[in-house]
Structure formats: C-alpha cells, structure tokens
Amino acid sequence: MRGSSPPQNPRRPLVREFGGGRVVLVQADITTLDVDAIVNAANSSLAGGGGVDGAIHRAGGPEIMRELNERYSGCPTGSAVITGGGRLPAKAVIHAVGPRWRDGEHSEPDLLASAYRRAFALAREQGHATVAAPSISTGIYGFPIERGAPIALGVARDALLEPVTTITEITFALFSPGDVQLFADALAEL
C-alpha cells in the first residue's frame, strides 16, 4: 500500500511444509483451538497442575481428569497418554510428559523428543489429522526454550514425513510473541 512503511521486524515465515503436511506457528491459548487433538504438558502422575495443564483441565472440565483416573495410573517421562477432549473444541487431549530441566546432562533433550514423538504417534494411531502442541517443558519445568524449539520442530517434521500418516497439520500454540519468534527462527533453520 502506498505510504505504508515496511515492517519494522521482518518476520520469519510461520508455516512450513513437510511432505504432504505442514507445521504452523501461532500465538494462542491452546484450549481455544479447533483441531482434532491438542497436546498437554502434563506431569508423570497425571494429576493436573499449573501452566497449560491447568488451563486444559479448567477449559475441558472434569471429564478429562475422570478418564485419566479410570484408564491410567501415571505416565513415564518421555511418554504420553490420550483422553477425550471433554468440553474443549478438540476431540482428544494427548497428555505428554516432558522432562524437568536439570543441567542438560540427564537425557533431557532425548526425553523431550520422546514425549513429542509419542504424542504424535498417538495422534496418528487414532487417525487424527490436525494436532496442536504447546512448547512442552519450557515453562514450569525450566527447559530452555531456545533448545526446546528445534527439538519440538524436528520431531514434528519427522512425524509429517512418516511414509504413512493421517496427520496433515501440526500447530505449535505458543504463549508469547517471543516464543513465536524463537520457534520461527528454529523453523527457518530446520
């Protein structure tokens, strides 16, 4: 448009295609997203908590916790379990347990990758197409987000490049503009 000034912060692209699917980055509250499945950043006792876990249980209602209690007795770090979505727009919630950051020397990167891998595998096993995930472990669990972002995105890319998959779109729902920027930088470098 004539007279408009160029963007002050030329942004990295927020969408990238891999195989027949794409990775999308948005700044959003994950509980509002109308996707087949959302991923929760849970703890290994699946007891609920703060952060995105608290937000998901608040928005989804008690049905999600009831199902967790009935079907599971916890979940190891690096793995995930699935429930229905309760009152959420999403049909399913995949409760993934990322590692608590210690010093980076206790398999934290491998455990984070494993949590995402298992989450996307569950989505695929259930035939879901659109999945949204938060930045697991980078809040209360203290995993540095600049190290977490490339791990998350690498696993998402690999999930989309699987020879047989139902997943067509993986959205990362990030809470702050700074987190979006970090993920965008990592997505560009993937």
Binding segment for ligand AR6 among 8-16, 49-57, 106-114, 116-124 (CB under 6 A)?
A: 49-57
Residue 98 in contact with ligand AR6, rule: CB under 6 A:
yes
The catalytic residue positions are: 53
* Choice between 131 and 165, CB closer to ligand AR6: 131
Neighbours of 60 (CB within 10 A): 22
Of 126, 178, 133, 130, the C-alpha closest to 152 is 133
Task: Give how many residues touch ligand AR6 by CB under 6 A.
Answer: 24
Residue 137 in contact with ligand AR6, rule: CB under 6 A:
yes
Residue 172 in contact with ligand AR6, rule: CB under 6 A:
no
The minimum distance between CB 5 and ligand AR6, in angstroms, equals: 31
Residue 41 in contact with ligand AR6, rule: CB under 6 A:
yes
Residue whose token pair is 């560009």: 188
Of 150, 162, 42, 156, the C-alpha closest to 98 is 42
Residue whose token pair is 């210690």: 102
Residue 74 in contact with ligand AR6, rule: CB under 6 A:
no
Residue 136 in contact with ligand AR6, rule: CB under 6 A:
yes
Contact in structure between 73 and 18 (CB atoms under 8 Å): no
Residue 77 in contact with ligand AR6, rule: CB under 6 A:
no
* Choice between 42 and 123, CB closer to ligand AR6: 42
Distance CA 98, CA 43 (A): 8
* Choice between 17 and 29, CB closer to ligand AR6: 29
Distance CA 91, CA 132 (A): 12
Expressed in angstroms, the distance from the first to the final Cα of the chain is: 33
Which residues make up the interface to ligand AR6 (CB under 6 A)? 29-31, 41-43, 49-53, 55, 98, 134-141, 173, 175, 179
